[in-house]
Amino acid sequence: MAVIGVIVVLVGVMISIALHEVGHMVPAKRFGVKVTKYMVGFGHTLFSRTRGDTEYGIKAIPLGGYVRMIGMYPPARAAADGRPREGFFASLAEDARQVSAEEVGPGEESRTFYSLSVPKKLVVMLGGPGMNLLIAVVLIAVVVVGFGTPAYTNTLGAVAPCIAPADAESGCAPGDPAAPGAAAGLEAGDTVLSWNGVEVSDWAGVSAAIRASGTDPATVVVLRDGETLTLTVTPVLAERPVYAEDGTALTEENGDPVTQEVPFVGIGPAYERVPQAITAVPALTWDAVAQTVGVVATIPQQVVDAWQAAVGGQERGDGVMSLVGVGRIAGEITSVQASVYTTSDRVADLLGLLASLNIALFVFNLIPLPPLDGGHVAGALWEGLRRRVARLRNRPDPGPVDVARAIPLAYVVVVGLIGMSLVLVYADIVAPVTLGG
C-alpha cells in the first residue's frame, strides 16, 4: 500500500512540473517567442517528438523540467570606456550570451525572449508559478468541497462510563461515579439535535449549550438509528483540563495541567469530514500560501535543524522536507492501519499533499534569485523601472537588462540548493518527519 502512495505523489509531482512548464510555454508562444524545447525531467532523454519549432520530451530524472526559449540573454554591451568587461565572472556571463546568441537564427531577433516588453516578460515568467497556484486551488476545492475538511461534529464519538479524576492515567476506578451522559442513556453514534431547547448542528454548539445550561437537568434530543429520542441529562461540576485555541493542554510552570471546574457530561464528538462551500476555497488557499511563505522564509534555519536532528539525535519537527520525505508521508497515508481512517480520508490527504507541494512550488519559484522564475521577474521589473526613469528624464531607452551578469549568482544558488537538498534527503532517511509528529 505504501508504494501506491509514493507512485501517486510521484505522478502528481511530474504532472505539476509538466503543467508548470506549460504555464511558461503557452504565453511565450502566444507572444511570438520561439520555443525550441519543452522537457519534463533532466538527464537522458527517454522520449521526444518535434512539433513545429518545439521538441517535446521526457527525461530520465523526474526532478524538474524546463522550457528553452531563444534569446533569454540580450547581446552584451561594451563598458563605458568602449572595452568589453573582463574577468572570471564576466567570462561566465559572456559564455551564456554566446550560447543564447547561437540559438537565434537569421531574422529571428524579433522572436527572442529579451525582445519582449516588460509586461509580456512578466506574464511568461509568472505563468509557471501561476499554474502551480491554479493546480493548488483546484485540488483544495476538490478536497474541501468534494471530501470536506476534518471537523468535530454533533455526533457522539465516545461516552465516558464514569467521572474519573482529571489526572487519572487510566479508565474508571472502583467507586468512581457514573458519568451524566452514560447515566442518561447517551450512546456513541447518537447525533445531538438539540440541548435544553437549543438546536445544535456541530460540536461547538453542543459545548456552548452544555455550558449555558450549567448543572441544571437538560432535555436532550438525539437521533439514533433513524429514531428520535428525548433524554434528560444532569451535568455535574468536575475538574477538567484547560485547552488553548490550538487544542494543546495548558500547563503550570511545574508542568502540572491547568484545570477548572466546568459542567461535565462525559461525552466526546465524532471526527468527520464536513463538505464546505466553494466560497471557503480562497481563504483556505490564502492561509496555505501565507504558511508556506513563513516556511520558505526560514529555510536556512530549518535545514540546520534537520541536520542537527539527523546527526545529533535531536527531535525532528514538522517543516521543510525533500521529495524523499514527501514520499514517506504519502506512503504512511496509504498504509496506516486505522478503522476510522477511510479510503476517502486517504484520497483527500494525498490530494491535500499534492496541493501543498504546488503551493510550495509557487512560493519557492517566486524567490527573486536566478535561476528561479523570481530572478527573471526581478530582472524584468528592474528593466521596466530603468525604462520609466529614462522616459521621465528624456533619455534614450536603456534596452533590456543584461540578466546574463547574474549567471555567477545563479551558480551559487544552484550549489546552495543542491547542498540543502542533500541535507534534507539525508535527514528524511535518518530522522524522517512522520504523520504522528
Query: Over the chain, what is the mean pLDDT?
Result: 87
According to the model, what pLDDT value does residue 80 have?
Answer: 42
| Helix, strand, coil percentages in the chain from 3-state DSSP, rounded to 5 | 50, 20, 30
Give me the mean pLDDT over the 165-182 stretch.
Answer: 73
How is the chain split into domains, by residue range? Answer: 1-33+116-148+275-437, 150-274
CA angle in degrees (0–180, nearest 5) for 315-321-325: 90
Per-residue confidence at 169, pLDDT binned at 50, 70, 90? low
How far CA 371 is from CA of 15, 47, 92, in Å, comes to 21, 26, 14
Query: Could you tell me what percent of the chain has a pLDDT over 70?
Result: 92
Query: Could you tell me what percent of the chain has a pLDDT over 90?
Result: 50
Per-residue confidence at 364, pLDDT binned at 50, 70, 90? very high
Given a cut of 50, is residue 427 above it in pLDDT?
yes
| 229 in Cβ contact with 181 (< 8 Å) | no
Give me the mean pLDDT over the 21-39 stretch.
Answer: 96
Encode pLDDT of 62-71 as tens digits.
878 999 999 9
| 161 in Cβ contact with 183 (< 8 Å) | no
According to the model, what pLDDT value does residue 184 have?
Answer: 92
* Whole-number Å distance between alpha carbons of 160 and 188: 9
- Report the CATH fold assignment for 150-274: Pdz3 Domain (2.30.42)
Given a cut of 90, is residue 324 above it in pLDDT?
no
Please give the DSSP secondary-structure letter assigned to residue 233.
E
According to the model, what pLDDT value does residue 79 have?
Answer: 44
Which helix or strand (DSSP H or E) is residue 253 part of? none
- Residue 406's nearest CA partner among 369, 364, 365, 367 is 369
Q: Which amino acid is at 250?
A: L
Per-residue confidence at 436, pLDDT binned at 50, 70, 90? low
3 state SS for 373-401: HHHHHHHHHHHHHHHHHHHHCCCCCCCCC
**Known catalytic residue at 272:** no
CA angle in degrees (0–180, nearest 5) for 377-9-360: 30
Higher local confidence (pLDDT), 151 or 381: 381
- Residue 423's nearest CA partner among 297, 299, 303 is 303
Encode pLDDT of 18-28 as tens digits.
999 999 999 99
* Whole-number Å distance between alpha carbons of 298 and 306: 12
- Residue 192's nearest CA partner among 216, 208, 177 is 208
